[in-house]
Structures are given as C-alpha cells and as structure tokens.
C-alpha cells in the first residue's frame, strides 16, 4: 500500500499521475480562457458598445450578471460556447475530485496552494458555464451565495466535509423512495430521515432515481446552484439526524463524575424550582405534606408549626423547599429516579440560548423539507427560477446559523465555570491534581 511519502516520490507512478492531473488542469484552464476569449471577440464584433460598457475580459464571465450583454450573441454561437464550457467544467470537476481525495490525506503539501487555485478556478468555470446556460434559456439570472470551505471557517468544517460527496442527499432520496413505496407518512414529527442509510453499494444497487447513482460516481454534470443545493441539503439533513448524538455528547460532558477525574456534576439552583404551595394544597391534591420530612405544606417554613413551602420537580412531585435544597447534590428526584433538571437547565447559562436556537433551527429546517424534497426528486436541471434561488438563500442562512449556534454551545459547555457540589470544594483545588490522583489510583495494586 502506498504511503504519503511514497506518493511524493517523483519516481512513483501515483506521483506521476498526480502531476499529470495537475498539468491537465493547466491545459483545461488555458482551453477555457481561449473559449471565453472567443466569446469576448464575438460580443465585440456583434456589439462594440456592449463590449466596452461591460469591460469584458475572459475572467469577467463569473463575476457579473452578463445576461444583457450575452443577448447580443447569436444563439448558435452561444450554444457552441456553452457546450464547450460545459464539457470543460465536467472534466475539470472529475480531475479535481481525484486531487481533493489526495489533498484530504495530506499528500503533496508543496503543491497544495496550486491545487487550491485549481479548485477555485473550477468554481469560476462552472459559474461562467452557468451564465451561458441562463442566456440560452432566456431565464432571469440570480446570484449564488458562495459556498465552500471558506464559508465554514471557524464553524463546522467536519460537518461540511461529511456532506461534500453528496452521499447524504442520495441517502435522503432512498429514504423517501422506501416510504413512498410502503405508503408510510413522508414527514413524521419524530425521526424524520432516520435511519439514513449512507452505504454506497446499497444506494447504487437500490436507488430508483438513477441520477443519484451517476452523481455518486461523478458521471453527471450539475449546475453550480444544484451542487450548492446538494451540499446544503446534506449538511442540514445530517445535522438533524445526528442531533441526538450531539446532545448525548453534551450529556456526557456534563455528567463527568469527580471520582473519574472529570468535572463535578452541575448542582441545580433553587431558582429552577418556583414555590407552588397553593398548587400542592389545591382540592384533590394527594400530596399535602413533604415526603422527606413529613412537614405539612404551608406558606412559610416553621419548625414550631412543622410547615414549609412546596416546590414541584420536573417529574411532578411536590417536595418541601428546604428538603429539596439539601438534596440537590444527588441530582435526581427524592421520590423517583428522574433527573431534577431538564437538559436545558443542566447546560451552563451561556449555552442555553444557542441550544434553544438549535432547536428552533431544526424546526425551521423541517418547514422546508417538502420544498427541498420536491427539487431532490426532480433531479438536477440546467437552470432554475428565482424561487429556487430564494430556497438556496434560506438554506444557507440556516446552515450558517446552525453551525454558529452549535459552536457556541460547545464552547460554553467546555469553558463553563465548575460548580462544586456541597462538601467537595476542598477536594477540587485543580483539575490537574485530580487527574494525577486518579492516575496514581489506577496504577496502584
């Protein structure tokens, strides 16, 4: 098996193949610029004023809305230019996907900057091709939000990379196909798109929408807006499907026990439990006294009268306020094993707002599902209308907000101040000492 070092060896066949691919990309770039130069000259010959007004150069075709300028081109010339650009864009994408795989494995670091520029040019070439596609279709042109690694900087890069090969949209289509065949509800409130089968050979052999089989193999040309749509669909789908795992990871971080060298568990504040003595004493209430001390519930705490105010746990039990306050470090209800805090209340204060934002964003994403699935099941098209452009914008905003809120929750949980349970303050002078003590205990016979 080849190693990264082997691949960097210029005598290695795979290394030679890499250089051949890079050289082919250079030739593709020259060819594309030549085609665009022909387009410039054709526009100049047809309408010098339009050419001068647009200050048209070969590298202008992916920067501006040139629908008006391109209208001066003869249809036959525009169609020929589009066909050439489309073919070049397809080949460019096929080659860069090979280089992306090598780049992700850390191969060829010296050529990485050149490779990144090649990827950027591929995007530009696709946008130039798109411009001619809209010219031929006489469709109104809408601008695309720039997606890619740069837009995920300081956000969820791992999540983006997990959706970059379009397996997730194909798996989502497969999930929809199975539900439609069996007559099941397409949009259940719970576990939507679960289980999501992302096994390639299962998708290739079972998908009815074969365009997604071609897509997985890289055998079909897709417009830049549809590629963006697939990336956004994959990211938003995977974010929801894996949200339960994300919550479980947060629970694990919050539940680290002191004896294992982790943080102490969070101790709930009594502010979470408002006084509700009147509810406890309401007609028909079965619990009119504290189950811990047997004091009757009353408006004030009194040793002489054996009364104390009542509070209610999330699981519905009435407990004396003073008794519950002394019980808080146990973390569970004194009557049943249910936790005293909801998951939201267990989070550090700084994490609660972005966590609630994540829940809201999941609901907003759910609201787009039918529209997203309509375009998924239709498959890729050459051009789209403004309605599709607005959907892309909404999806990109949700993606950005979701990634931002997710990072905020993680940062707040990992950087939260430690809240010590009663009696443990002196035992937790520093986390480093605790880990050392734990290691020593593990090493001792």
Tell me the per-residue pLDDT of 127-151, one tens digit each, with 9 for 90 and over.
888 888 888 888 877 877 665 544 5
| pLDDT, position 421 | 38
Residue pLDDT, tens place only, 297-312: 998 888 888 999 999 8
Calculate Rg over the CA atoms of the chain: 30
Q: What are all long-range contacts of 150-159, with beta carbons under 8 Å and residues at least 24 apart?
A: 151/400, 152/403, 154/407, 155/400, 155/403, 155/404, 155/407, 156/235, 156/402, 156/403, 156/406, 156/407, 159/235, 159/238, 159/239, 159/403
For residues 416-424, give the mean pLDDT: 43
Which range, 4-13, 15-24, 80-89, has the best average confidence (pLDDT)? 80-89
| pLDDT, position 139 | 82
> Does the pLDDT of residue 333 top 60, yes or no?
yes
For residues 246-259, give the mean pLDDT: 74
- Average pLDDT value over all residues in the chain: 76
| pLDDT, position 164 | 60
Sequence-separated (6 or more) residues with CB below 8 Å from residue 151: 145, 400
Least confident of 31-40, 263-272, 396-405: 263-272
| pLDDT, position 157 | 52
Q: Which residue has the higher pLDDT, 323 or 115?
A: 323
> Does the pLDDT of residue 89 top 60, yes or no?
yes
Q: Residues of the chain with pLDDT > 90: what percent?
A: 20
| pLDDT, position 254 | 76
> Does the pLDDT of residue 107 top 60, yes or no?
no
Tokens 């470090």 found at: 329
Split at pLDDT 50, 70, 90, the class of 54 is low
Least confident of 159-173, 186-200, 356-370, 418-432: 418-432
For residues 225-240, give the mean pLDDT: 90
> Does the pLDDT of residue 182 top 80, yes or no?
yes
């Amino acid at each position: 098996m080849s190693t990264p070092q082997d691949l960097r060896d210029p005598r290695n066949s795979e290394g030679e193949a890499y250089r051949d691919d890079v050289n082919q990309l250079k030739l593709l770039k020259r060819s594309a610029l030549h085609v665009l130069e022909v387009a410039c000259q054709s526009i100049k010959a047809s309408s010098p004023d339009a050419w001068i007004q647009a200050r048209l150069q070969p590298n202008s075709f992916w920067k501006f809305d040139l629908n008006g300028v391109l209208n001066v081109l003869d249809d036959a010339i525009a169609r020929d230019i589009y066909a050439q650009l489309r073919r070049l864009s397809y080949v460019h994408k096929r080659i860069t996907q090979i280089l992306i795989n090598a780049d992700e494995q850390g191969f060829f670091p010296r050529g990485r900057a050149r490779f990144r520029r090649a990827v950027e040019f591929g995007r530009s070439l696709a946008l130039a091709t798109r411009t001619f596609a809209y010219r031929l279709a006489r469709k109104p042109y809408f601008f695309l939000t720039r997606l890619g690694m740069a837009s995920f900087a300081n956000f969820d890069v791992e999540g983006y990379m997990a959706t970059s090969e379009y397996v997730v949209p194909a798996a989502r289509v497969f999930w929809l196909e199975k539900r439609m065949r069996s007559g099941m509800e397409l949009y259940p409130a719970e576990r939507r798109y679960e289980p999501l089968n992302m096994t390639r050979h299962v998708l290739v052999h079972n998908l009815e929408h074969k365009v997604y089989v071609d897509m997985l193999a890289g055998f079909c040309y897709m417009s830049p807006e549809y590629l963006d749509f697939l990336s956004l669909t994959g990211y938003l789908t995977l974010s929801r499907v894996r949200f339960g795992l994300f919550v479980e990871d947060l629970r694990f971080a919050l539940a680290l026990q002191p004896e294992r060298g982790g943080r102490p568990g969070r101790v709930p504040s009594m502010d979470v439990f408002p006084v509700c003595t009147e509810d406890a004493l309401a007609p028909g209430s079965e619990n009119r006294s504290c189950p811990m001390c047997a004091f009757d519930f009353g408006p004030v705490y009194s040793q002489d009268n054996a009364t104390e105010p009542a509070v209610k746990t999330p699981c519905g039990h009435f407990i004396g306020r003073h008794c519950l306050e002394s019980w808080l470090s146990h973390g569970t209800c004194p009557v049943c094993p249910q936790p005293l805090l909801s998951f939201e209340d267990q989070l550090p204060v700084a994490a609660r707002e972005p966590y609630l934002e994540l829940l809201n964003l999941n609901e907003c994403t759910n609201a787009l599902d039918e529209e997203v699935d309509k375009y998924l099941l239709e498959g890729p098209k050459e051009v789209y209308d403004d309605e599709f452009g607005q959907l892309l914008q909404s999806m990109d905003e949700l993606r950005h907000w979701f990634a931002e809120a997710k990072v905020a929750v993680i940062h707040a949980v990992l950087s939260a101040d430690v809240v010590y349970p009663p009696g443990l303050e002196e035992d937790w002078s520093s986390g480093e000492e605790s880990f050392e003590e734990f290691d020593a205990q593990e090493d001792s016979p």
